[in-house]
Amino acid sequence: MKYLFTIAPFYLALNVAIVFLLHVSIKHISFLACVMLGTIWTLFFTGIFIFIKKLTETDSPVTISLYAGVGMIPATFVAAYPYLTFPNVEQFLIIIFIAITGTIAQTLLNSAFKRGSLTILLPLDFLKLVWAVVIGYTVFIESTPFTLWLGGLLIVGSSSYIAWREKR
């Protein structure tokens, strides 16, 4: 229960950022749909992170990564089935690269959850927003809309506040 009360406010702040990003960036989604999607996302990921933290008490980080990988196969297959095409060699290598790096990242995250507090680790996890923007700009020469920066500022601000509050 301790985790719920420390993680939920963080994800509620993220929910506000998600609603803002979705509603402003994607014009054809209603505000109510954005609120519902943000709330579902918040509840879902709060539950997942608490579940992973609890699993680290009994299982190794590699085993938890295996659970995640095997558990995602049916869900992603059902969602992808209508669009499946056979990949060429280049696409297959990219898929293998994504699978290997994703598995390593998940295992390292599980290992961090085993050793540290969720309230300290989760704000650091959202640095991937910063990395996504930097890589998108440098590698793909993508410009970022103002709403992304505003939503990112809400996420970084709420993360910093919660980390500061937990330090006290």
pLDDT score of 142: 80
92 Cβ partners below 8 Å, 6+ apart?
none
pLDDT score of 2: 53
- Higher per-residue pLDDT: 38 or 110: 110
User: pLDDT-based confidence at 118, cuts 50/70/90?
Assistant: confident
Share of the chain above pLDDT 90, in %: 18
Q: Please, what's the b/e burial string for 15-40 (b: 16 or more CB within 10 A of its CB; e: otherwise)?
A: bbbbbbbbbeeeeeeeeeebbebbee
- Higher per-residue pLDDT: 162 or 137: 137
Q: How many CA atoms lie within 13 A of 123 on its CB side?
A: 21
108 Cβ partners below 8 Å, 6+ apart?
61
Quick one: average pLDDT of 131-137? 81
Cα(33)–Cα(128) distance, integer angstroms: 25
pLDDT digits (tens, 9 = 90+) for 7-29: 555 566 666 666 665 555 566 66
pLDDT digits (tens, 9 = 90+) for 60-92: 999 999 988 888 888 888 888 999 899 999 999
**Which amino acid would we find at residue 151?**
G
Cα(37)–Cα(17) distance, integer angstroms: 12
CB atoms within 10 A of CB 7: 21
Instruction: Using the predicted structure, report yes or no on whether residue 97 has a pLDDT greater than 80.
Output: yes
Residue 10 near residue 122, CB atoms below 8 Å: yes
Q: Which two tokens stand for residue 99?
A: 């699978």
Instruction: Using the predicted structure, report yes or no on whether residue 5 has a pLDDT greater than 70.
Output: no
Residue 114 near residue 122, CB atoms below 8 Å: no
